[in-house]
Amino acid sequence: MKILVAVKRVADPDNLNKIKLSAQGKIDATGLEPKASPYDDYALETALRLTENGANTKARLGEVVVVTFGPKESEQMLRAMLGTGADRAIRVDATDDALDGDLVARGLKTVVEKEKPDLVLLGYQQAENESNEVAQLLAEYLGWPQATFAGSIRSEDDKALVVGREVEGATAQVRVTLPAVVSVLDKIVHPKSVQSKHTAPTHTYADGVRFAALMAIMAAKKKPLAEMKLADVAADATLKVKYGAAELPPKRAAGVKVKDVKELVTKLKTEAKVI
Amino acid sequence: MAGTLVVAELSEGKVKKPTHHAIGFAKQVGTPFAILVLGAGAASAAKELTGFGAQKVIAVDDAGLAHYTAERFAPTVAKVAKDGGWDTVAMASSAFGKDLAPRVAAKLGAGYAPDVDRVKAEGGKRTYRRPQYAGNALGWLEITTPVHVVSVRQTEFAAAMPEPLAGGAAGGASPVENAPKAADDAAAARVEFLKLEVGKSERPDLGEARVVVSGGRSLKEQFKQVLEPLADTLGAAVGASRAACDAGYAAPELQVGQTGRTVAPQLYVAVGISGAIQHIAGMKGSKYIVAINKDPDAPIFQIADYGLVADLFVAVPELVKELKAQG
């Protein structure tokens, strides 16, 4: 199976409470370490699990191509992903200001038509903008089925996937015939969440994503990383959505510490009046 | 005509509550609006929505829409929106709306504003605000296409209330109009709905509960044993941190936070939750936050209205006792 994984570099998702506003009222994440959006790391882990035997992960049994839309600096993230196990990488040169979800989806469509993957995997949303839209837009533009909020994936002979979609207290199971677009939640990297035809059902993965071995990081420097221009993948770069000024949400002030349970109940009753 | 088409969400032939919040959005925008109800049993469900001041309720009742998939629903939503000339298509940013709305936007060539929490019109220009960066920034955006597709955060738009008819007559004033289902996308043939596994709970839904009691990983195997008596006493829904869900102490559907549910109850009781920013993103809209944690430096205390530094295994049972004693 050939899988295209769309990824995005973002500001450190664990420190987003440190973002500021610039003098122009725009969001300023200066000082936060750039990282891959965590759900994209989960998408890559999913792709690797689908293209290997979990008992012998050194032998690749399919192809995983990572693609990003970003500036030159994003290549560091792509190299890291090549070290983790991706086979090839593509960077479409663009800055965030020149993109919206719709343009990314239209650009990805061109990349898909060129690469002809069986499956496109994405994180269900990227950690900065949190739009949760590119997978659905891309599926529509390609005329492919979509399965969003994937918490589990079982491959049926790489012809179809049974996807467990986590939808508010319930799991909707759907079977999508490939090629398809799937976006994943964090649950997808649990030990048994991905069942591939190459791996025995009894196999248990370590919880979470894998890390690159030093040798693999060295070897990744030789893996192919192609660069494309935005104009190569999207003839029309018009944005459908434009962001203006931002606000910081009002800070919740720390309240009071109560000394015991009795005082807590009294405060809830007489001060907050919520019980 | 200019105005908003609100897409209703059904479950087993009944209107789901997020729909009322999407209607609340349409009323706030203030232009005329219609409500589209689609699914098997839509004609009957449409009657639930005639009292909200909509110009009309459009029902697409078709067995082909018995189970939701975007590939089957999006063509009909797009067609009804186009035929009616509606300038805005709105739905709640539930799992349903988040899955469906972008696909509809792509069909309409429309810009999409996801998960908005405010809408503003100034000088004939409408802008939308939405939480980003795990709720640490609120970005204003403008849609440059003539048609807008919007999903609205239900904790930020009040549910619309039915408008009483003159003379106290029963039912509502909006006429129900039937419309046919549009042809499926070709992709619909490649998606098969298999089943829906619903987590069974006697408790209120997390998204609707007045009180939420949430637990972290430190509860371990005693998650239920410790939290449920407290939830019972407060009539609360039970939530959990991602760490508690990942460790298997709590069911996955209880997760509150960025990848789980976003909640905004009157009272949120965080038990043994340290307060990772991904968790806070999902609950900081709560009116009052109580934190119980034995670590006095836990970040959750920075946003809690009432903090109690204590061993939860002692404090929670005591709290249950005290709540009962103070009745």
Query: Cβ contact (<8 Å) for B267 and A275?
Result: yes
- Shortest alpha-carbon distance between residue A213 and chain B (Å): 25
Residue B208's pLDDT band (boundaries 50, 70, 90)? confident
**Chain B residues in contact with A106 (beta carbon < 8 A):** none
Query: What 3-state class would DSSP assign to B229?
Result: helix
Query: Cβ contact (<8 Å) for A16 and B288?
Result: no
Query: In this complex, is the C-beta atom of B154 within 8 Å of any C-beta atom belonging to chain A?
Result: no
Mean per-residue pLDDT for B203-232? 95
- Shortest alpha-carbon distance between residue A76 and chain B (Å): 22
pLDDT of residue A210: 96
- pLDDT tens column, B43-83: 999 999 999 999 999 999 999 999 999 999 999 999 999 99
- pLDDT tens column, B277-323: 999 999 999 999 999 999 999 999 999 999 999 999 999 999 999 99
Do A252 and B303 meet the contact criterion of CB atoms below 8 Å apart? Answer: yes
Structural tokens at position B64: 């082909």
- pLDDT tens column, A1-44: 999 999 999 999 999 999 999 999 999 999 999 999 999 999 99
Where does residue B207 fall: left (phi above 0), alpha (psi -120 to 50 degrees), or beta otherwise? alpha
Mutation target among B210, B242, B254, B259 for the A interface, most CBs of A within 10 A: B259
Segment B183-188 long-range contacts (CB within 8 Å, at least 24 positions apart): B183/B75, B184/B64, B184/B71, B184/B72, B184/B75, B185/A140, B185/A143, B185/B71, B185/B72, B185/B74, B185/B75, B186/A143, B187/A139, B187/A143, B187/A144, B187/A145, B187/A146, B187/B71, B188/A145, B188/B69, B188/B71, B188/B72
- B1 pLDDT above the threshold of 70: no
- Nearest-CB residue to B138 (from A146, A165, A246): A246
User: CB within 8 A of A154, min separation 6: which ones?
Assistant: A161, A162, A163, A194, A195
Q: What is the mean pLDDT of each run of 10 residues along chain A (275 residues)?
A: 98 93 93 96 98 95 98 97 98 96 98 98 95 98 98 97 92 97 95 96 95 92 97 97 94 90 95 92
- pLDDT tens column, B94-120: 999 999 999 999 999 999 999 999 999
In angstroms, the Cα distances linking B220 to B130, B133, B248 are: 35, 30, 9
- B170 pLDDT above the threshold of 80: no
- B166 pLDDT above the threshold of 80: no
ipTM over 0.85: yes
Least confident of A236-245, B80-89, B248-257: B248-257
